[in-house]
Amino acid sequence: MSVALFTLGGTISMAGSRRLTGDDLTAAMPGLDGLGHEVAIQDIEKIPSANLTAAKVLEVVDAASKAVAAGAAGAVVTQGTDTLEESAFLADLVWPHSQPLVFTGAMRNPTLAGPDGPANLLAALRVASSPAARDLGALVVFKEEIHAARWVRKTHSTSTATFESPNAGPIGHVVEDRVRVLTRPFRLDGVQGSAEPAELDTIRVALYTVTLDDDGLLLQGLADTHQGLVVAAYGVGHVPAALAPVLGELATRMPVVLTSRTGAGSVVRNTYHSPGSETDLLQRGLIDGGFLDPYKARVLLRLLVATDDDVAAGFAQYV
């Protein structure tokens, strides 16, 4: 039985002006002979993760799905870390298999002292081939930690320990050659409808971060150009009072999701009641984003709009 490996570029494959292939990556990885599975490599496209699109991610997920349906024990995707948390969450929303789909990458490229790519890739392959990782959906493996895609975030611009799950912590670890899953979060329903990659590319969902003295001027005309909005609000879901009616009016024309810009924790529902509070905004028609951070909320909203799924029901799973 094989493990499917799909390479998408990023720091893990940067060697000066040369871009490493999957064969290069596995050749540089001590311990691969102990994996117990053949690695079936598909080099997709060597592009920085900043240039990735949701459509491209869905194409890779589809290829991984076909590999698993053909008998692969699991699949691994390597890509740049800048958008890895969004790619993994998008994949988790549509991944239908019990076999794991694992995302990994690197913070130090192979030309630097102590490159982390080989260790991350070996750990990811071990997780992807492990029966212990089945029925967990899409995962992110970094620094021998296993993270659920719906919780993980990139938290540091340069540290090799950048990936954390602030609200939950890692769900497991790779210890020597053993995959140790310590807690098993239940699988959510994901997105019920289906969207072709080209269809998703036509859906525009804005992300708006609220800041001090925010007057909402940048939101003017948004409903004419976009099909949805995610608001990264203060704290537990607050905005300046003057911004509340602007968001309420937008919520009559498109789905508007309320999240927190803090990076951890949930928005609340009924603690504060002043104009611009979470209670006020939800009464104006904004949708509770729960524990989802703004970036993941945008991924989910875009997919729900593209598939004509019930947006409120889709987000209710994360509240």
Catalytic residue list: 11
Bridge-based pairing of strands 75-78 and 2-7 is parallel
Residue 312 near residue 196, CB atoms below 8 Å: no
9 vs 16, 47, 104, 138, 197, CA distance in Å? 13, 5, 11, 19, 20
CA atoms within a 13 Å half-sphere pointing along the CA-CB vector of 149: 32
List residues bridging with 187 in a β-sheet: none
**What does the block give as tokens for 146?**
């296993």
Using CA atoms of 15, 144, 39, 59 in order, give the dihedral in degrees to the nearest 10.
Answer: -80
267 vs 95: CA distance, rounded Å: 27
With CA atoms as reference, report the closest residue to 4 among 65, 49, 45. Answer: 65
Distance CA 50, CA 115 (A): 21
